[in-house]
């Protein structure tokens, strides 16, 4: 477990997570595929928002259960809460300062969010 600092582009939003970044997730839903985000799941006790509470805003669509959170000023989506596990933080590892995406070893799980119900069922079976 390592501590990583993260945030948006303009610097308004800053947070710290404790995570093991060996297993990342990519999602095919209409939102994530446009954002191109790579995610890790972080339990609430390992996520600390340092600043930016008032700079964040939420976008919802479809069932409106997932919270796609982004910075009001620069538009960067650094974290959110997934529909599949609303209590967890879904952190965009592209927004972590001390994680070198290009040179780190990690596996990427594909979550087929475009077919959310089937993908969720399949993942439950695999656990």
Binding site for Zn ion (CB under 5 A): 8, 10, 12, 71, 73-74
Nearer to Zn ion, 24 or 71 (CB): 71
Q: Where are the beta strands (DSSP E) in 43-93?
A: 47-51, 56-59, 67-71, 79-81, 89-92
Nearer to Zn ion, 5 or 26 (CB): 5
Name the one residue in this structure whose structure tokens are 């939102």.
Answer: 31
Nearer to Zn ion, 67 or 73 (CB): 73
The minimum distance between CB 70 and Zn ion, in angstroms, equals 8
Residue 24 contacts residue 39 (beta carbons within 8 Å)? yes
The minimum distance between CB 51 and Zn ion, in angstroms, equals 11
Nearer to Zn ion, 14 or 46 (CB): 14
The minimum distance between CB 36 and Zn ion, in angstroms, equals 17
Residue 19 contacts residue 104 (beta carbons within 8 Å)? no
The minimum distance between CB 95 and Zn ion, in angstroms, equals 10
Using CA atoms in the order 78, 14, 89, 106, what is the torsion angle rounded to 10 degrees? 70
């Amino acid at each position: 477990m390592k501590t990583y600092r993260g945030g948006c582009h303009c610097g308004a939003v800053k947070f710290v997570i404790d995570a093991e970044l060996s297993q990342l997730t990519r999602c095919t839903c209409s939102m994530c595929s446009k954002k191109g985000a790579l995610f890790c799941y972080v339990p609430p006790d390992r996520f600390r928002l340092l600043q930016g509470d008032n700079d964040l805003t939420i976008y919802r669509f479809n069932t409106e259960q997932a919270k796609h959170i982004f910075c009001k000023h620069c538009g960067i989506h650094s974290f959110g809460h997934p529909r599949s596990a609303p209590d967890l933080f879904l952190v965009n590892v592209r927004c972590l300062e001390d994680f070198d995406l290009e040179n780190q070893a990690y596996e990427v799980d594909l979550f087929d969010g475009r077919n959310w119900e089937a993908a969720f069922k399949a993942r439950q079976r695999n656990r």
